[in-house]
Every structure is written in structure tokens, then in C-alpha cells.
Structure 1
Amino acid sequence: MGIKIAIVEDNITFLKQIEKLIKKDDKFTLIGTATTGEEAVKLIERGGPELVLLDLSLPDIQGTEVIRRIREKKIKCNFLILTVFEEENSVLSAVRVGAAGYLLKGTPYRKIKEALLEIHAGGSVIQPNLARTLLNIFMEQERLKTEVKPLSKREKEILNYIAKGLSNKEVAEVLGLSSTTVRTHLEHIYEKLNVTNRVEAVTEGIRQGLIDV
């Protein structure tokens, strides 16, 4: 019996092509296919594949969410992402949550097979012509993180009140400030947290542990 594999792909034509090749290959045993993320989670839970060929752009939930759910359930399997150039950010997210590698759609089956065997052996696979783009995205995101400036005591106070749902006017009344001053502090908060609105500011504040929840 070959390595147990599942295929998750919503493009039926591509799915049938790769399914046919996998079925003909005695290195693998196809345990099933899925065309949506929800189907994929159920298939992986039920079938216990060792490897999953996963499309990121699914009609219900993203492939990244599929990986996250499977990791949360402590199910052991490895994911190889099949992607297109337009999905660099999604690929980066998938790698961060546990994908073992990624290839561009259109990669010859021989290369896909090599990648699957490499991942099954404990390795990882990176498509060279995507790697530099992803590295640049990662470095830019890390640069933005390192450039985040610490909030002042007053700015933290205001951010916490905003998180509780208070308006600028209400925050001003509580702190004995003018609405204009509160608005100015908010602009500084947005700049320091690298966000553009109150919702993003609160979300980032929670992530950084700046807000009492």
C-alpha cells in the first residue's frame, strides 16, 4: 500500500487530472478528494491521509484555515500547497500555520511526486521562483513590526477606552481632555501601530497585549 494522500481542489478539471496521475502511481494510495474546505476537514478527519495536496482558494474557507483546523485537532498529516503567483500572501500564511511546502500550479507531475516524497520523508519544498517574492513579503512585514513605536501611557489609556466602545467625546470627558486632543492621540496610535482605523487599532492592541481583556 502506498502513501495515503488526499487532494483538495475546487477546479474540477485540474482535480481530475491530478487524481488520474495519483491513482496510476503505485507510490501513493488516494483516500479521497474534496472541493471545499469543509469537505477537506471531514475527509482528513475520516481518512487519515499522510499527505494532502491543497489548493488555497476554496469556495468556502481558505486552505490556510483547513491547515489551522487540522493542526488544532492534533491530526498528523503534511500539506503541500498548489498555488498561483497571485496568492503569495496566502502561501506565506499557510507556511506559518504548518504547510510543509508549496509548488506552482502547472508544475509537472514528476516534480509534484518528488515534492510529496520529500515532504513525506520529513523535508520541505519551496518553488524557487516564488521563494524570493515570499521572502520579500516576509521581510517587509518583519520590518514594519520592528518599526512599531511604543505607546505612551496616555495613548494606552485612550486605546483601552476605545476598546470598551467609548466615542472620542466620551473618552475626552473621562480623561478631562478636548475631543481634538483625543483625536490627535488616536492618530498617533494609528501611526505607531501601523493601522488605519479603530477596529484595527483595537485588534493590534490586543495582539500586542496593550489592552486589558
Structure 2
Amino acid sequence: MTEAIAPSPIRVFVVEDQTKILKNQLRLLESNQDITIVGTALSGEAALEEVPRVNPDVLLLDLGLPRMSGIDVTREVKARWPQVEILIFTIFDEEDKVLEAVKAGASGYLLKGTPADKIIEAIKEVRAGGTVIQPSLARRLLRHFRVEPDSGPVPTEPVASPPAPAAPEPPAAAPSEASEPLLKPLSNRETELLQLIAKGVSNSEAARLLNLSKATIRTHLEHIYRKLEVTNRVEAVTEGIRKGLISV
């Protein structure tokens, strides 16, 4: 009888410019048998030199690096080695940078100070093809999404433009825009999953809560992305809120 082969540990590379924080991260992670630390770097430039040599599965990347930013590193890594998944470490006041990192190809983000078990869970999640959104920061990001660049916070009900002559025009254009998502409506299950995503639930947690397999969750996510014409969780939640499909 052939013995089952244990899965190989996930190869993790850590990029952090603060040596004290780096040592603490390594201390938290090195004891877990499901991952192995294949390298570290104190700058983005050093990381780009080391990544092709150590071939990591997941890059734990500090967003606030000197000189070359975490966003730039994310963009370069995904362009050169798209198979490497990237998890961003961030702080509360970096919402705009987190958005840019996600657009550049990051698979998720964690707040600095996240417990070791949550970091390990996030590493496994992105390695399996998932995306990580922490609830505490997700709510801040979603509030950010609800702010128009020129007009401030968007209220619950649409408001016509201030100039009187222009007021009649927005309602005329709205029906075609509002009807667009109706051409590809989300199923009840997809809407339910999207609402969970907005709360920061991982693929694994969603599978447990909905009593579905992880593969089914991934399939539902693919359908959601295609119907909303987005490429990741953050964009999906944004579109879901803008189109009134979910609430936060």
C-alpha cells in the first residue's frame, strides 16, 4: 500500500526594512511546519535580486519600503514571476497604497501585528489561489470606495449635480447604466458569497459557512468576477456596493 505523500511546505520570502520587525515575523513563522522561509530582504531592490534564486511561492511584502515601494515591487514581481503570490503588510492609514498594490497584482493584505495563526492561514489561502481581505481594513477600504474624487462621500440616494440646467440630465442617463448589471444578474448564492467577501471572509471560511467545497467557492468567485467584469475581490466588493447588490 502506497503511503500518502505529505505536501511540501509553502516557500515564503519576507521583505521588511525594519530589522526588529523582520526578526519578530521570522520568529512567529519559522516554527510552523507548513511553511519554510526561503529568504529575506531589507529592500525591494534586494528582493528582486533574490526572488529568482530562491523561487518562493509567496512573498510577504512590507508596503512602506524605502526607495522602491512595495507597490513597485509587486508590479515587478508579477511581471517577471507571475506565479509568485504576494501578501502585503500594511498599516491603517495606507488605504490608497493598498488599492494600488492590489491593482498591481497583490493577492491580499494583512495588518501589521496580525497574529501568527492568521498570517499562516493567509499564506495558505493565497497559495491555494484565494485572496485575503481583513475585515478591519476592508471596512475602511469600502468607505474609501464610496467617495467620489470630486464630490465627497456618496449618499445613499443619488443627488443631481448642483447646476440647475444639468439636473435633468443624470436621471436620463441612469437607466441604461443601472440596467447593465441586470443583463448578468448574480445568483442568490453568488450574492451571498459576495456579501461574505465584503466582511473579509476567506475562501476557507466561506466554504465552511456556506457548507460548500473550496473548489465550488472558487467557481462562484470566477462567475462573480466575470459578471461584474472585475479581476479580484476588492474590485468585486466595490462593484457590488456601487450597484446596490450588497451592503456594508
Q: TM-score range by the shorter chain?
A: 0.5 to 0.7
Alpha-carbon shift at residue 132 of structure 1 (Å): 1.9
Counterpart of 1:24 in structure 2: which amino acid? S
State the partner residue of 2:86. Answer: 79
Counterpart of 2:48 in structure 1: which amino acid? V
Say whether residues 1:132 and 2:167 are aligned partners: no
State the partner residue of 1:11. Answer: 18
Task: Answer whether contact 1:56 1:83 (CA < 8 A) is retained.
Answer: yes
Question: How many correspondences in the alignment?
Answer: 145
CA distance in structure 2 between the aligned counterparts of 1:116 and 1:143, rounded to whole angstroms: 37
State the partner residue of 1:152. Answer: none
Change (3 A) 1:141 1:97: farther
What is the root-mean-square deviation in Å for CA atoms of aligned residues? 1.8
- Could you say what secondary structure the match of 1:26 adopts? coil
State the partner residue of 2:106. Answer: 99
Decide which of 36, 41, 50 is 1:43's aligned counterpart.
50
Alpha-carbon shift at residue 143 of structure 1 (Å): 7.6
Within 5 Å, which residues of 2 pair with 1:45-194?
45-140=52-147
CA distance in structure 2 between the aligned counterparts of 1:143 and 1:117, rounded to whole angstroms: 40
TM-score, length basis structure 1: 0.64
- Could you say what secondary structure the match of 2:88 adopts? strand
Structure 1: give runs of 5+ residues left out of the alignment.
Answer: 148-213
Instruction: Provide Cα deviations, 1:9-62, integer angstroms capped at 9, x if missing partner.
Output: 111111001112222211111110001010111121221100011101111211
TM-score, length basis structure 2: 0.55
Structure whose CA Rg is larger: 1
Counterpart of 2:80 in structure 1: which amino acid? K
* Aligned structure 1 segments of 4 or more residues deviating by more than 4 angstroms: 141-144
Identity of aligned residues (%): 43
Structure 2: give runs of 5+ residues left out of the alignment.
Answer: 1-7, 152-160, 162-248
Task: Answer whether contact 1:45 1:75 (CA < 8 A) is retained.
Answer: no
Q: Which segment is superposed worse, 56-65 or 67-76?
A: 67-76
Task: Answer whether contact 1:52 1:79 (CA < 8 A) is retained.
Answer: yes
Task: Answer whether contact 1:83 1:104 (CA < 8 A) is retained.
Answer: yes
Say whether residues 1:32 and 2:39 are aligned partners: yes
Q: Which segment is superposed worse, 131-140 or 47-56?
A: 131-140
Task: Answer whether contact 2:14 2:59 (CA < 8 A) is retained.
Answer: yes
CA distance in structure 1 between the aligned counterparts of 2:134 and 2:62, rounded to whole angstroms: 15
Alpha-carbon shift at residue 121 of structure 1 (Å): 1.1
Change (3 A) 1:143 1:71: farther
State the partner residue of 1:210. Answer: none
Alpha-carbon shift at residue 125 of structure 1 (Å): 0.8
CA distance in structure 2 between the aligned counterparts of 1:134 and 1:8, rounded to whole angstroms: 24
Q: Which segment is superposed worse, 86-95 or 40-49?
A: 40-49
